[in-house]
Amino acid sequence: MTLSLPPRSFFYLGHAYEPTLEIRLDDGVLRLPMSWVGSGRSADEGIWVAELSSLPADGEWQFRLDLGDGRCEQPEFAPFYTTTLRRVWFQDHQAFGYRPAPVVSPPQVVKIPEFKGRLSPRPLYIYLPRGYDEHTEKRYPVLYMHDGQNCFEAFVDDSYAGSWQADITANLLIRQGLMRECIIVGVGNGQEQRILEYLPPYARHLPPPRRPTKPVTPEEAAEQPQRPLRPVSGRANHTAAYYREVAAYVEQTYRALPDRDARATCGSSMGGLLSVYLAWEHPDFARHHAALSPSFWITRNPDGSMEAVNRLRSLPRRDVRLWLDSGTRSTPTRGDDGMRDTQLARAALLAAGYDEGRDFVYYLDEGAIHSETAWAARLPLIFQFLFPTTDDDLL
């Protein structure tokens, strides 16, 4: 069935008797009667529509449905749904920016145990959004998350400090139309080599000793090469090349959009530093980036300045969007989670002419510490920044 649509409209597919769309306002509730426009998936279902001409041009708004027979369609956890869409198809308790298939498959996370490239083999964790199986003509933006072992609750047993629950957060946001449907790729880290892999080549670090692959006697240990006494340069340039290999695989295997405007990166601590490095040193890879509690301190120069922050100010202007944040404590009892460093980074961005609110967002999470739990709590804001919803003209 083809429907002629006004520019702003709300469609409901389901069981109802003279439904009313209720929109929450500051001073009450606006009730919009809905019109029947066609039959649904079965004889007792219908398709109903209301125009949304009274909504502001952008921003969040809240709604629920009075189905006209004593029932109300609303979320379990709140009295109203929240969305940013201006053209909505509401079906099976989910908001879509387009008309979905009659039955939509749930999101899933698949694991590739050993992805091989120029870095050592490591797992990839790939989140595919709802309806991926049915909407075979649809292509998706991609979010590349560092420390992939920690990203998804579906594979929490692989994590070393708890998961970010990126799959749970994406599910919740996408269901309400607060985040674009996307593919999320958790790229595993190099474990003992993680710091060097995430460290920019303009910084140096003393690498950790290699773990023995088998038990050794004290005599054998004494004969083995000792840990080098000199720091070595970071290898984030090799990691950037590896991410291009990962992106090529994802774009060949899944329906991923291939251009930089449809790619994002996200990481915390050393992973946050890697996202900043990718944004400024490899800007053709991705346009959107999130740096949570980034480890700027590890790039400190002999004069006390941090090279990663200096380069935000001195390099030619990049066409990027950056989320920059920190908590206020490294642990519950000490430190500041790099708060002063991120404030210096914010000042460097402003000095370089970047527009706060358009080119970057700075967020200070009062009371948050340097932990997966704190980063997971900020993820809803970050996901909405990286991939905000757009009204797809596909109804």
User: Which residue is associated with the tokens 């809905």?
Assistant: 34
Mean pLDDT of the chain: 92
Count of positions (residues) in the chain: 395
- Predicted confidence band of residue 223 (pLDDT cuts 50, 70, 90): low
More confident residue, 107 or 43: 107
Residue 208 has pLDDT above 50, yes or no: yes
On the 0-12 / 13-18 / 19+ scale of CB atoms within 10 A, 141 is buried
Q: pTM to 2 decimals?
A: 0.92
Give the other-Cβ count within 10 Å of 217's Cβ. 8
Class of domain 108-203+230-386: alpha beta
pLDDT of residue 161: 81
Residue 114 has a pLDDT of 95
Predicted pLDDT at 307: 98
So what's the pLDDT on residue 47?
97
Instruction: Fill in the amino acid letter for 326.
Output: S
At 177 the pLDDT is 95
CB 66 within 8 A of CB 23: no
**Which of 130, 35, 51, 140 lies closest to 91, judged by CA?**
130
**Residue range 166-188, pLDDT digits in tens:** 999 999 999 999 999 999 999 99
Do residues 52 and 44 lie in contact, with contact meaning Cβ atoms separated by under 8 Å?
no
% of the chain at pLDDT higher than 90: 85
CA–CA dist 32, 321 (Å, integer): 37
Query: What fold characterizes domain 9-96?
Result: Immunoglobulin-like (2.60.40)
User: Two tokens at 252?
Assistant: 């060949």
pLDDT for 53 equals 85
Q: What is the mean pLDDT of residues 219-243?
A: 80
Task: Please write the tens of the pLDDT for every residue from 358-392.
Answer: 999 999 999 999 999 999 999 999 999 999 997 66
Q: Give yes or no for residue 152 having a pLDDT over 90.
A: yes
- pLDDT of 344 above 50: yes
Which H or E element spans position 169?
helix 166-176
Parse the chain into domains and list their residue ranges. Answer: 9-96, 108-203+230-386
Tokens found for residue 110: 């698949």
Q: How high is the pLDDT of residue 281?
A: 98
What span, in angstroms and rounded, lies between the C-alpha atoms of 61 and 284?
35
385 three-class SS: helix
For the chain, give the percent of residues with pLDDT over 70.
92
Q: How far apart are CA 128 and CA 380, in angstroms?
A: 18
Kindly state the DSSP code that residue 356 receives in the 8-state scheme.
Answer: B
Residue of higher predicted confidence among 271 and 229:
271
Q: Residue 1: which pLDDT band, with cuts at 50, 70 and 90?
A: very low
φ, ψ of residue 124 in degrees (nearest 5): -115, 140
Q: Dihedral, CA atoms, 339, 341, 343, 346, nearest 10 degrees?
A: -140
114-123 pLDDT, tens per residue?
999 999 999 9
Look at residue 164 in the predicted model and tell me its pLDDT: 95
The average pLDDT across 243-251 equals 98
10 Å Cβ neighbour count for 159?
A: 17
Pairing outcome for strands 61-66 and 72-73? antiparallel
| 231 confidence band (pLDDT: 50, 70, 90) | confident
| DSSP state letters, 95-158 | EESS---SS-PPPEEEEEEEE-SSSPPEEEEEEE-TTTTT-TT--B-EEEESSGGGT-GGGGGG
| Amino acid (one-letter) located at 274 | L
Q: Residue 110 pairs with which residues in a beta bridge? A: 126
pLDDT digits (tens, 9 = 90+) for 62-75: 999 999 999 999 99
